[in-house]
Amino acid sequence: MLYPSKEDLIFVLSKGDEAEKAEITRLLEGWQPPVWVPFPGPQTMAYNSTADELFYGGGAGGGKSDLLLGMAITKHRRSLILRREQTQLTELVQRSKEIIEGLGGFNGTTKIWSNLPGDRRIEFGGCEHDDDKQKYKGRPHDLKGFDEGTDFLESQYDFIGAWCRTAFLGQKCTRMLTGNPPQTADGEWVLRRWAAWIDPTYHGIKAKAGELRWYARVDGAEIECESGLPFEHKGRQIRPWSRTFVPALVDDNPVYMATGYDAVLDALPEL
C-alpha cells in the first residue's frame, strides 16, 4: 500500500493542534516515508517470507500485483515482472508509476525503470508464446515475478526462473508467482507444484499458509526433502530450495473492501 505523506502524518497525529503540529514537525525533520509498505496480514506474511519460490494469491482483489511491485521497489535490486501477453502490462506499469511517483526514470519503449532508490531496476515484459522465453535466457534478476502466473506454461516458468540469481552480496533471490486458480489446462501445473498447500487430494501432511517446504531435483524428477540441508547424490552436492504459498482474498485488501469491490466480485457469475 502507499504510505501517507509526512504532511498527512503530521496532521493526523497532531489532531490539528498547532503546538502539537510544530513538535511533530520537529521530530519528523529529515524523515522520509517508505515508498511502499505491505498491508497487515497475508500481504505482510508473503513480503517477509524467506522462500526461494513464493506463490501469493488464490482469489481476485487480494493485492497480488501490488505485492509484486512493492517487493521489486523495496526489497530487490534487479527485477523482472512478466505477464503472459505484452498488452496485459498497461495497468501494471501505470500502477508502478502511481507507487514510485517520479522516483527514478521510466523508459516507455523498453518498459524499464532505472535509477530507483537503492540502485534498483525493474523490467516489465511479456512471454506469449513458449519460444518467447528464449529472449530472457542468461539474464539474471534477483526477483523473477510472474503476475497472473497461472496463465504461464510451466516450461516458461522453469526456463526463465533458472536465471534467478544475483551478483549483489546478501541479496535474496525469489521466484514469485501471483494468481487465481487456473482457468485453463495451461495453468494446472501450479496445482501440482503447490499441491501440499492447495490440492485437497494431496496425500501427505498438508502445509500451512506461509510454511516452508523443501524440494530438489534428482535424476530429472522433483522430490520433497526434510530440510534445506545440502545432500550428496551420485557424487554431487544438491541444495534443496524452499517453497511456500500464502493465500489472499479481497477481504485482506482494506482499500478494495472500503470501495465495495467485494460486492462486485460476488455479483460475477461462477466460472
Q: In this predicted model, what pLDDT tens digit does every residue of 247-256 receive, in sequence order? A: 997 554 444 3
d(CA 36, CA 54): 20
pLDDT above 50 (res 188): yes
Report the pLDDT value the prediction gives residue 130, as an integer from 0 to 100. 96
CA distances from 149 to 40, 130, 230 (A): 23, 14, 29
For Cα atoms 229, 231, 233, give the angle at the middle one, nearest 5 degrees. 160
Residue 259 corresponds to which cell in the numbers above? Answer: 470501495
Task: Give the closest residue to 56 by CA, choosing from 193, 149, 153.
Answer: 149
Ranges 14-23, 198-207, 249-258, most confident: 198-207
pLDDT above 90 (res 24): no
Residue recorded with cell 514469485:
176
Residue recorded with cell 496485459:
88
For Cα atoms 5, 10, 11, give the angle at the middle one, nearest 5 degrees. 100
- The pLDDT tens digits of the residues spanning 116-158 come to 999 999 999 999 999 999 999 999 999 999 999 999 999 999 9
Q: How confident is the model at residue 268 (pLDDT cuts 50, 70, 90)?
A: very low
Percent of the chain with pLDDT over 90: 71
pLDDT above 90 (res 102): no
Q: How confident is the model at residue 1 (pLDDT cuts 50, 70, 90)?
A: low
Report the pLDDT value the prediction gives residue 176, as an integer from 0 to 100. 98
Q: How confident is the model at residue 90 (pLDDT cuts 50, 70, 90)?
A: very high
